Amino acid sequence: MPELPEVETIVKFLSKHLTGLRIISGKLFCSQICKDKKPLDPGILKGFQIRDVRRRGKVILIDLDGNITILFHLGMTGQLFFSSPRVSLDRHTHFVLKFARYPQELRFRDVRRFGYLAFMRTDEIFLNQRFKRLGPEPLEMTFPMFISLFKGRRARLKSLLLDQHFIAGIGNIYADEILFRAKLHPLLSVSLLETFHLKRLWRAMRDVLRQAIKHKGSTIRTYINAKTHPGEFQSFHRVYAKEAHPCSVCHSQIKRIKMNGRSTYFCPKCQDLRSIC
């Protein structure tokens, strides 16, 4: 469930339930899922209390007292959910946290293992290379800030939207949905964009992400994530996974192409390349 709206939804949920809980144990079942250079024994988490749950881009940060933060990235198939300890762990559950006076444990499960977790000092998070290089939050950007990001760039529009160093949090679904609503072709070189195009893009980005958060994100392939969050934004998708469907605006057939190895959906008429170059 890993784009900004899904991560935001999970963070809100976790924040509500985790804040104030005291950890009695942490167990790692798959050492490769922990990205730390010096893998920390999660047993040392015992006794610390959860202060806050935050998001930065697609990353989830769980702050404990004692200057400790647990970082999670869900990759493609990561799940973070509560479960009764009586439900047996399957082979894809890689990390479990247990709490004092709380009947449920928090489990991190990830079938494809593109996700990861890491332990960091809370006050050092933003000194970390990973975070230093992360682009700005799309919902915390003014239009002038947004414009300045494009200066001197010439990559194709969708590639840039997907680049987490450019803007943090947008993935394959929301890139396509944003471009459809901005009426811009994914293959456009951003050097061709004028201020009014960027205005459309900025508005579409904010609208799509806000709407998606309001609907608790998109739940695709429910067998993977219904456990954690049944979102409803998928019913508002206009192009993603809609190859050959009629465009909701002009009734042309939605096209699918491959871009950077990812499926890319768009309306060939509403998002016409030739209208710009």
Partner DNA sequence: GCCACTGTTAGCAT
Partner DNA sequence: CATGCTAACAGTGG
Which residue intervals of 65-142 are DSSP H helices?
A: 129-132
Whether residue 182 contacts residue 204, with contact meaning beta carbons closer than 8 Å, is answered with yes
Question: 3 catalytic, yes or no?
Answer: yes
Nearer to DNA, 46 or 112 (CB): 112
Could you tell me the smallest distance in angstroms from the CB atom of residue 162 to DNA?
6
Nearer to DNA, 25 or 164 (CB): 164
The catalytically annotated residue of 55, 56, 58, 216 is 58
The catalytically annotated residue of 3, 6, 8, 177 is 3
Question: 242 catalytic, yes or no?
Answer: no
Could you tell me the smallest distance in angstroms from the CB atom of residue 85 to DNA?
22
User: Contact residues for DNA (CB under 7 A)?
Assistant: 1-3, 6, 57-58, 73, 75-76, 91-92, 111-114, 130, 152-156, 159-160, 162, 164, 171-173, 217-225, 231, 258-263
Which of the 8 DSSP states describes residue 38?
Answer: S
Give the CA dihedral 8, 12, 17, 22, nearest 10 degrees.
Answer: 70
Question: 156 catalytic, yes or no?
Answer: no
Question: 2 catalytic, yes or no?
Answer: yes
The catalytically annotated residue of 35, 51, 262, 269 is 262
Alpha carbon 267 to its chain centroid, in Å, reads: 25
Could you tell me the smallest distance in angstroms from the CB atom of residue 168 to DNA?
8
Amino acid letter at 4? Answer: L
The catalytically annotated residue of 2, 5, 42, 138 is 2
Reduce the DSSP state of residue 162 to 3 states and report it. helix
Nearer to DNA, 42 or 171 (CB): 171
For every residue of 175-226, DSSP letters joined together read HHHHHHHHT--TT-BGGG--HHHHHHHHHHHHHHHHHHHHTT----SHHHHT
Q: Which residues are known catalytic residues?
A: 2-3, 58, 262
